[in-house]
Structures are given as C-alpha cells and as structure tokens.
Amino acid sequence: MEINIITVGSLKSAFLEPGINEFKKRLQNYCKLNFFEVAAEKIPKNPSPKDLELIREHEAEQIRDYLSARSYSFALDIKGKPMTSTGFARSLSNLQLRGYSSFNFIIGGATGLSSGLLAQVDYRISFSHMTFTHQMIRLILLEQVYRAFKINNNEPYHL
C-alpha cells in the first residue's frame, strides 16, 4: 500500500518533527509513505475573499500534479465528514477490497483548499470540529493512519 501526504508549505515547527519522524518509522512496516510539499503562496495584507480563492486555486494546481486517477484522495477539511478511528480503519480496508492500493491525503495551507479541489477529491474528512494548524495536522494524520493499520491488523496499539 502507498500513502501519499500532499501538503502546502514546508514543516516549520521543529517540535513536531520528532513525532512525525517517529510515525514515519513505525509506518515503514505497513506501507510506502511519500511526502510531497507544494509551495505556499504569499498572502497579501488584507486579502479579499477573491484573493484568498485565487491563492487556494494556485496551490491546488500544484497539488493536482501529485494526484493520480488510480489513487483514492482524501482532503482534510474542517467541513468534511467526521469519522472515528475504527471507522477510518474500516474505510481504508474497504477501499483496499475495492482495489485501491494508493491513497492521497491532502492538507491545505493557511488559507485552506480551493473549492474546485474539494469538489474533485473522493472524500472530505474532518479529524475534529476544532481547527489545527496545517503543520500540526500532519502529525495527527500520521498517527491516525498508523492507528488504522494497527486496528486492521488486530494489533494492540489501539486498545
């Protein structure tokens, strides 16, 4: 199985790096994990809603370069559908049974994801009603992907 994490901007919070590296190491036994970072657009001072959507669309153009029609794409979106950890694990397992072996997880930048990209993905998922930084959600996502593998393999991490 291949897991692609596609993010806008680079990781700037050094305190998150050890946790992300730990889950990268743990996930080696379960999947091929790829990280793709696209450049974040500069946000002007006092941007209009139109400016923000143009920024999101430009970032989306870069994200689309990493999307494959053969992969199932999740967008992390606060307005997405919430899922429990066991529900998420079950979804990944069911998608594999349907023939998917590659999954994209898209994390937007400071302005979020464009409406066009959100309409294009297979599933919009929310990990919380709370808002997390786009950098912090990387760690949370990796932990949930790892938890899903443990659940699907009946291993004790999730108990």
* 115 annotated ligand-binding residue: no
3-state secondary structure of 102: strand
The predicted-structure confidence for 30-73, as pLDDT tens digits, reads as follows 999 999 999 999 999 999 999 999 999 999 999 999 999 899 99
Percent over 70 (pLDDT), the chain? 99
* 127 annotated ligand-binding residue: yes
* 108 annotated ligand-binding residue: yes
- Residue 55 belongs to what domain range? 2-158
Domain CATH for 60: 3.40.1280.10
Nearest 5°: phi and psi at 116?
-65, -45
pTM: 0.94
The predicted-structure confidence for 86-96, as pLDDT tens digits, reads as follows 999 999 999 99
What integer best gives the mean pLDDT of the chain?
Answer: 95
**Cβ burial 83-106 (10 Å sphere, 16+ → b, else e):** beeeebbebbeebeeeebebbbbb
* 132 annotated ligand-binding residue: yes
Count of the separate structural domains present in the chain? 1
* 9 annotated ligand-binding residue: no
Q: Is the pLDDT of residue 159 over 80?
A: no
